[in-house]
Amino acid sequence: MIRLNLSLLTLMALLINGCGSTQWNGSPTRQVVATTEELPRSKSGNPPFYEVYGVRYTVMNTSVGYKERGVASWYGKKFHGRSTSSGERYDMYAMTAAHKSIPLPTIARVTNLNNGKSVIVRINDRGPFVKNRIIDMSYAAAIELDMTGQGTALVEVEALTAGNTNNKDTIEDATNDPNSHMYLQVGAFGEARNARSLADHLNRNGIDKVAVHQSNGETPMLYRVRIGPVISVSEYDQIVRQVETLQVAETHLVIETL
């Protein structure tokens, strides 16, 4: 079995105890410059797989094309100056982040889906190993995303490599558009009856705000089962827990413009 380094174990301990939300001032933030190339992998932090609390995590072969939406948390003063999984020193004032499976290091854009604010970070650490969390931001990055007060935020994470470094997408427009909403998608089907069957199953088991969204202009037609709109991390966590009890595990956030 691959042995985890000390920084990973200490990061796990922080995440178990919950992220801090106390702000404190110090040195200025250190910005990250985007690159159009994948960075050389660090000598540590990139095993084919590793295990934490009996859960196996597989490190991705490449960061090209990676984009995911979910919940971000952050970590700060307690780990300032300690080694990260990649071997670098954790600097809470640098624009960095921790991720469970993306190659280390990777440059990525993280966008707060609630306010449209985004930052470019260097992913150089492993974590967070808390359910329903996809990325752990440094203190500086969390400040820029305006998420330190709540401790968490709904975000989109996108690896920046050739072809998408200058592509801002439409996240800021979507999040600031009153006609746009976020949903938890729990399934997509080629037949409407299968989508309605899942929606009815969720409704019968106490899950509200379930709807079947029919694709427009797609061939073949797709019928997507979505729950929402989702307006907060606590609501997101609650819905995920509910659908998991019904053996629905493949979920992700989507933005729908009405």
Confidence at residue 14, expressed as pLDDT on a 0 to 100 scale: 35
Top CATH class, 177-257: alpha beta
Return the residue matching tokens 């050389």. 40
3-state SS assignment for residue 61: coil
The closest of 186, 189, 200, 196 to 240, measured between CA atoms, is 186
β-pair type (67-75, 133-138):
parallel
User: Is residue 166 predicted with pLDDT exceeding 50?
Assistant: no
Full strand arrangement of the beta sheet holding 252-257: 210-214, 223-227, 180-189, 252-257
pLDDT tens digits for range 31-71: 665 555 678 999 999 999 999 989 999 999 999 999 999 99
The closest of 109, 87, 82 to 97, measured between CA atoms, is 109
User: Is residue 85 predicted with pLDDT exceeding 60?
Assistant: yes
Confidence at residue 231, expressed as pLDDT on a 0 to 100 scale: 86
Contact assessment for residue 55 and residue 122, using Cβ atoms and an 8 Å cutoff: no
Residue 128, preceding peptide bond in cis (omega within 30° of 0): yes
The closest of 159, 136, 162, 158 to 147, measured between CA atoms, is 136
User: Is residue 24 predicted with pLDDT exceeding 50?
Assistant: no
CATH architecture, range 6-169: Beta Barrel (2.40)
User: Which residues lie closer than 8 Å to 69 by C-beta, 6 or more apart?
Assistant: 113, 154, 155, 156, 157, 252, 253, 254
Confidence of residue 207 (pLDDT cuts 50, 70, 90): very high
3-state SS assignment for residue 184: strand
SS3 content of the chain, % helix, strand, coil (to 5): 20, 30, 50
Confidence of residue 29 (pLDDT cuts 50, 70, 90): low
Contact assessment for residue 212 and residue 195, using Cβ atoms and an 8 Å cutoff: yes
What is the location of CATH 3.30.70.1070 in the chain? 177-257
What is the location of CATH 2.40.40.10 in the chain? 6-169
Confidence at residue 249, expressed as pLDDT on a 0 to 100 scale: 74
